[in-house]
């Protein structure tokens, strides 16, 4: 993959009721050249909209891929990768870093009624995860708008070391810093 290819990585940090999402535009060469922030509701259903708003706010036509850290942000605020692909017209790749039995049991333990059904419908609409080996580590990838071999290639190309793609690694750091700023800044006294 050419070093100038760009990906938007989106990761989150949350405390209390709001989750801070950070979007980082990074090149395959590891150069970072764009940041944006958005929020979504912890335990809500607005993560997909927050991700598409973040992409739109950046206004970066040069982004080739959208990477999302996980699929259930902000305490089961399920991200609809298919909707993100439709809204951004970009391949979307979700990367998770731990093996799990899936999300349905956890959703059933935490929600009921329409809140549960809405999250289950969103989750069941997503593609299956694929185990991918990256730099002697294993990640789990879902992709929409891209075939599995190109998704694996993109994840590996944006992961120069370890198992976390650079756009997601930097986005996670930025989200934590943004969350700390939001949490620590209160009304100013004047």
116-129 pLDDT, tens digit per residue, is 999 999 999 999 99
Question: Residue 75: enclosing H or E segment and its boundaries?
Answer: helix 73-76
Average pLDDT over residues 130-151: 97
Percentage with pLDDT > 70 across the chain: 97
How many Cα atoms are found within 13 Å in the side-chain-facing hemisphere of 64? 16
pTM of the model: 0.93
Cβ-proximal residues to 157 (8 Å cutoff; 6+ apart), any chain: 1, 5, 28
Sheet arrangement for strand 130-134: 32-41, 18-27, 6-15, 63-69, 92-96, 137-144, 130-134
Across residues 157-177, what is the average pLDDT?
96
Is pLDDT of 189 > 70? no
Chain mean pLDDT for the chain: 93
* pLDDT at residue 187 in the model: 52
Rounded to whole angstroms, how far apart are CA atoms 140 and 165?
12
Model pLDDT for residues 58-97, shown as the tens digit of each residue: 999 999 999 999 999 999 999 999 999 999 999 999 999 9
- Of how many residues is the chain composed? 190
pLDDT at 190: 40
């Amino acid at each position: 993959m050419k070093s100038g290819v760009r990906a938007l990585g989106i990761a989150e940090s949350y405390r209390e009721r709001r989750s801070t999402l950070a979007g980082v535009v990074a090149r395959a060469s590891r150069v970072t050249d764009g940041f944006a922030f958005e929020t979504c509701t912890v335990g809500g259903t607005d993560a997909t909209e927050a991700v598409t708003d973040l992409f739109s706010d950046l206004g970066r036509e040069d982004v080739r891929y959208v990477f999302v850290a996980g699929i259930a942000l902000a305490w089961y605020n399920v991200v609809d990768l298919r909707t993100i692909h439709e809204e951004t017209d970009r391949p979307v790749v979700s990367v998770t870093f731990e093996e799990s039995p899936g999300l349905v049991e956890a959703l059933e333990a935490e929600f009921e009624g329409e809140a549960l059904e809405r999250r289950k419908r969103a989750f069941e609409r997503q593609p299956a995860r694929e185990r991918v080996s990256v730099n002697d580590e294993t990640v789990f990838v879902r992709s929409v708008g891209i075939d599995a071999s190109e998704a694996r290639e993109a994840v590996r190309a944006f992961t120069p070391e370890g198992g976390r793609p650079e756009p997601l690694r930097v986005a996670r750091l930025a989200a934590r810093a943004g969350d700390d700023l939001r949490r620590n800044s209160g009304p100013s006294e004047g």
